[in-house]
Structure 1
Amino acid sequence: MKRDKPSSLFLQKLMGTATAVLLAAGLGAAPRAEAQSAYPNKPVRVVVAFTAGGTTDILARAVTQQMSEKLGQPFVIDNKPGGGGNIGTEFVVRAPADGYTLIVNSVGPMAVNQTLYKNMTYDPLADLVPVVQIADVPNVLVVNPEVPAKTMEEFIAYAKANPNKLNYGSTGIGTSSHLSSYMLSKRIGAETLHVPYKGANALTDLLAGRIQFMFATIPSVISHIRAGKLRAIAVSSLKRSRSLPEVPTVAEKGFPGFSAGSWFGFFAPKGTPAPVIALLNKSVNDALPSLEAQMIREGADPVGGTPEQFGKFTRQEYDKWKVIVRESGATAE
């Protein structure tokens, strides 16, 4: 006995109902997926692993203000100082990789501290991903005006003629300011004494004449240079700084390859989605042109570029500083 075939009208109704259900489900899911993937749809925390008012903090605030305006969400600075930048850096390493916790970091925590600190529980090069470099910030060799040296040649001659009489300050053992002076003293063959400080106290003593010289980030001393309270001798970058174009580099004064500056950029926790990294990279690159004049005036050279370029640069910096830290014998508790 043959079974009756469903009528064509019934089939049409059945197929029409199923299609409608599928379409409704699809149309309902699309807005939800789009809403979930839209980034950013809430405030973004940007950690700075140093105190407010320092070079990292100043650059981070300038750039994130532009990002907030462009992306329509607050980018909120969260200062987490301590441990030479390790406390704030580890906080971001352990944060969810969703793009809502980022860090503006610098040469110390990213390229120096792995060699300087013996018991680190994370690897910043592996546990963070590069987003974009904000700026290069050369160190500048500055002396108290009481030091009778106005040029690099005069400084070298004076340092050699007065062994162990020149004290240099730094913002701490293993920092860029410490290692820059160590490198220079070794290259010129002068015996100098390192006096480590915590943060800005080194600059206070340099201005007072209690120490004679130091390598400092240009933004931290440019106003004192312009006021005549400090004398700029040379910068530590391979090329002259656009902020102090009249000041020669150490390299061009007979020490080729001398490069010991600071740099700053955005990083995110490993696993942050690639589209989020791409959006953040673009927003910073878009912001830099409007900040260029201000940054140069204050002592920073804007960079920008791709995540891949920044990642390659960061790895090269780690390889360079690893050798210097080991040669210096510097360690941190």
Structure 2
Amino acid sequence: MKASCISMLAAGMLALFTGLPAQAAYPERPVKVVVAFTAGGTTDKLTRSTSEKLGQALKQSFIVENRPGAGGNIGTEYVVRSDPDGYTLIVDSVGPIAVNPSLMKLDYDPLTDLVPIVQIATVPNVLVVPPNLPVKTFEDFLKYAKSKKGLNYGSTGVGTSSHLSSHLLMQHIDAQDATHVPYKGADALNDLMSGRLDFMFATAPSVMGQIRAGKLRALAVSTQQRLASLPDVPTVAEKGFKDFDSGSWFGFFAPKDTPADVIATINKGVNDALPTLKADMLNEGAIAVGGTPEDFGKFTHIEYEKWKKIVEKLDTKAQ
């Protein structure tokens, strides 16, 4: 009798559990991927190409949404405040994650309020000038910058590596009166090509087309190594500024408390996609990275400490 009751109870429990609907695999609906800068810039380009591959692999739409402003803080905070369900992600960069916490007063901490998923790429900045500027080489530019008062330089926003690369170089050559003109994103390039700006450090993918078309002149690269897609362009470091190293990077993040299985799914999807994107990225000046969430998390903290020291040393203000 006792055994019979146990068997009946077991059968009832089995029927109960088998009657429950199976949990749908992520993602079961479209995923929003926020870009904290304007369309057409490097963050936007890398996000769209990677999101397209993710969508193909995961059989779901990954919809890119641009939310520019405040050096990337507007889009970043939007994602920080979003539900941690895996359906709102962000591809963010060095400025909003590693620079702005030291440069500005924020109502959130991107290093703790966002979960790193995977790094997409590292990207050098390229010092570019309009063709009508009377300089042909980096040495010419240094002489020009030291002699000319009231230089104007653009950036993709306060606190971005684009901004700080220029600021750092102007500090090095004592061109203190150079004026920074921040833009929400890639719009700075239009003013640069028209001659309203004198120079800019721009992420390589955002200016590769203009360089090849002769609309901008590349004078130097901001990282320690030359760029394979611009092999004849020297680095700032090899021209006498040995510690100059000011590149950018990009990667996927999610709101804090996003489920671990979602993080794992996006991480695997991006790592699987990068080999198919690597050649195109390299041609445009980006270097594919990939790796684990733990790798990316350690990297972002190292970058934060690096840029914190630079910001403090230069006494850079958010302006």
Tell me, yes or no, if the aligned pair for 1:178 and 1:194 is still in contact at 8 Å: no
Evaluate the alpha carbon distance shift between residue 203 and residue 129 of structure 1 in structure 2; reply closer, same or farther with a 3 A threshold.
same
Say whether residues 1:23 and 2:14 are aligned partners.
Answer: yes
Determine the C-alpha separation between the residues in 2 that align with 1:111 and 1:54: 19
CA shift, 1:97, in A, is: 1.5
CA shift, 1:192, in A, is: 5.2
Number of the residue aligned with 2:23 = 35
Tell me, yes or no, if the aligned pair for 2:96 and 2:159 is still in contact at 8 Å: no
CA shift, 1:163, in A, is: 4.7
Number of the residue aligned with 2:158 = 173
Tell me, yes or no, if the aligned pair for 2:170 and 2:178 is still in contact at 8 Å: no
Evaluate the alpha carbon distance shift between residue 190 and residue 84 of structure 1 in structure 2; reply closer, same or farther with a 3 A threshold.
closer
CA shift, 1:320, in A, is: 2.0
2:60 aligned counterpart, secondary structure: coil
The amino acid across from 1:250 in the alignment is V
CA shift, 1:255, in A, is: 1.9
Number of the residue aligned with 1:46 = 33
Task: Note the 1:1-333 alignment, pairs <5 A.
Answer: 10-11=1-2, 13-29=4-20, 32=21, 34-36=22-24, 38-118=25-105, 120-160=106-146, 162-164=147-149, 166-191=151-176, 193-198=178-183, 199-332=185-318
RMSD: 2.2
Tell me, yes or no, if the aligned pair for 1:242 and 1:301 is still in contact at 8 Å: no
2:290 aligned counterpart, secondary structure: coil
Determine the C-alpha separation between the residues in 2 that align with 1:218 and 1:269: 29
1:234 aligned counterpart, secondary structure: strand
CA shift, 1:275, in A, is: 2.0
Determine the C-alpha separation between the residues in 1 that align with 2:180 and 2:262: 43
Higher mean C-alpha displacement, 198-207 vs 176-185? 198-207
Question: 1:200-235 deviations in whole A, cap 9, x for unaligned?
Answer: 443223222333221111122211211222211111
Question: 1:164-188 deviations in whole A, cap 9, x for unaligned?
Answer: 2643232343332221011112223
Question: 1:92-148 deviations in whole A, cap 9, x for unaligned?
Answer: 111222211111111111112222222x21101010010001111211011223344
Tell me, yes or no, if the aligned pair for 1:170 and 1:197 is still in contact at 8 Å: yes
Determine the C-alpha separation between the residues in 1 that align with 2:88 and 2:187: 31
2:51 aligned counterpart, secondary structure: helix
After TM superposition, the runs of 4+ consecutive aligned structure 1 residues lying more than 6 A away are: none
Could you tell me the percent identity over the aligned residues?
60
Determine the C-alpha separation between the residues in 1 that align with 2:283 and 2:32: 27
CA shift, 1:285, in A, is: 0.7
Determine the C-alpha separation between the residues in 2 that align with 1:43 and 1:96: 14
The amino acid across from 1:20 in the alignment is A
CA shift, 1:307, in A, is: 1.1
Q: Mind listing any 5+ residue stretches in structure 2 that lack a counterpart? A: none
Determine the C-alpha separation between the residues in 2 that align with 1:108 and 1:230: 24
The amino acid across from 1:301 in the alignment is I
2:23 aligned counterpart, secondary structure: helix
Evaluate the alpha carbon distance shift between residue 224 and residue 262 of structure 1 in structure 2; reply closer, same or farther with a 3 A threshold.
same
Tell me, yes or no, if the aligned pair for 2:129 and 2:192 is still in contact at 8 Å: yes
Determine the C-alpha separation between the residues in 1 that align with 2:122 and 2:217: 21
Evaluate the alpha carbon distance shift between residue 258 and residue 131 of structure 1 in structure 2; reply closer, same or farther with a 3 A threshold.
same
Determine the C-alpha separation between the residues in 2 that align with 1:298 and 1:253: 24
CA shift, 1:318, in A, is: 1.5
Q: Mind listing any 5+ residue stretches in structure 1 that lack a counterpart? A: 1-9
Question: 1:246-301 deviations in whole A, cap 9, x for unaligned?
Answer: 32221222222311122111001111122221111110010011111222223322
TM-score (norm 2): 0.91
Aligned length: 318
Determine the C-alpha separation between the residues in 2 that align with 1:186 and 1:332: 16
Max Rg structure? 1
